[in-house]
Structure 1
């Protein structure tokens, strides 16, 4: 991930403000949006269901094999976040992650998938979103996968996840977990916010 972030930083510093409609952006430590929507879409009305991790949740995650210890600690992860048994997240390597902050605040963000496109994402107060260029797929970082799980059965938990289902192939859907509903999210990198 560090090499991807370095490349993103280089691309950001080389990007003229005019390329983003004249907007001025302030560089931020890479943040991560959990986005829902049509991958082919460039706008929508559902950003109220999007969240943001302001700190990379991967290194702060808990391995599935360590779930019993997480449960024994009352849900307190070593990294300082609190596990919510009724609403939890997994990433592509099978790490239990902290929840992102919801909703994604209104504003303008400089976003990328770390592939070919960097563009402006605008989130309005009503939950509408639009990209200046490209589609949600174009700004999705395909190797990063994230899914939100909610127990449909009383005994469902990360203990029901199968470690053999991980890692997840880039661009593939996250695995189902017995007894849980699942919602896959696209992961979009934020490298700047409007100044």
Structure 2
């Protein structure tokens, strides 16, 4: 119990640091790269600390795994629903493997879409995160891996998400999708409709506030996704 209390205090302290860093970044018309990195680091530390707390509460029958990330769609106030066939999963954190918008031409455009981290960019279907990093696409569909996942939003709720092959999903403990969404992690999927691309994105739209919608990119359609941390699967 003492460990849980200490971890919770650390989580709150680091979360406060994260909010301060984000406030500084958002108050600047053109936040520096170092300021964005500091906000990103504070966010990561807050999530990591809460992750440790969540691990101490892992239920029996689950094995812990390196954190994976679900891209989910649905009513944030729902505890169950359908449509998980439209959800995806990143087996590894896509952020550190991403490409900054201002590096798009050099690191993706001039390399036939091959990112330095080894993933391939699809100009017809691409992803952005809250700092303005172009990400690799998650693996679709999540229903190809039906089962029970231990999920958290890096805040106060850790619970079990059940995903069925027919696309239905359910959260235990009356948890809502919002409760297990990591609010600082914003992600959206873009499709060009009128010549849009990462080149038409506005760098001034980033970073994005926790919980806010991702910005529109001129010439593209957009779909926002919630991000859930997966910290365990059934043993």
TM beyond 0.5: yes
Q: Does 1:131 align with 2:171?
A: yes
Aligned to 1:15: 57
Larger fraction in helix: 2
Contact kept? 2:200, 2:217, Cα under 8 Å: yes
Question: What is the DSSP-based 3-state SS (H/G/I as helix, E as strand, rest coil) of the residue aligned with 2:76?
Answer: coil
Matched pairs, number: 188
2:47 corresponding residue in structure 1: 4
Deviation per residue, 1:93-122 (Å, 9 max, x gap): 000000000011211000000111000000
Q: Distance in 1 between matches of 2:87 and 2:120?
A: 20
Contact kept, 8 Å, 1:109 with 1:120, in 2: the verdict is: yes
- After TM superposition, list the pairs within 5 Å mapping 1:28-177 onto structure 2: 28-69=65-106, 70-104=108-142, 105-133=145-173, 134-153=175-194, 155-177=195-217
Corresponding residue for 1:186?
Answer: 226
Please give the per-residue CA displacement for 1:20-53, whole angstroms capped at 9, x wherever unaligned. Answer: xxx5111011110000000000111110000000
Unaligned runs of 5+ in 1: 18-22
Runs of 4+ in structure 1 deviating by more than 3 angstroms, as ranges, are: none
Deviation at 1:156, TM superposition (A): 1.4
User: CA RMSD, aligned part only?
Assistant: 1.1
1:9–1:191 Cα contact (<8 Å) kept: no
C-alpha contact 2:68 2:93 (8 A) present in aligned 1: yes
Unaligned runs of 5+ in 2: 1-43
1:5 and 1:30 in contact (8 A); partners too:
no
Q: Which has the higher strand share?
A: 1
Return the TM-score normalized by structure 2.
0.78
2:127–2:190 Cα contact (<8 Å) kept: yes
Please name the residue that 2:12 is paired with: none
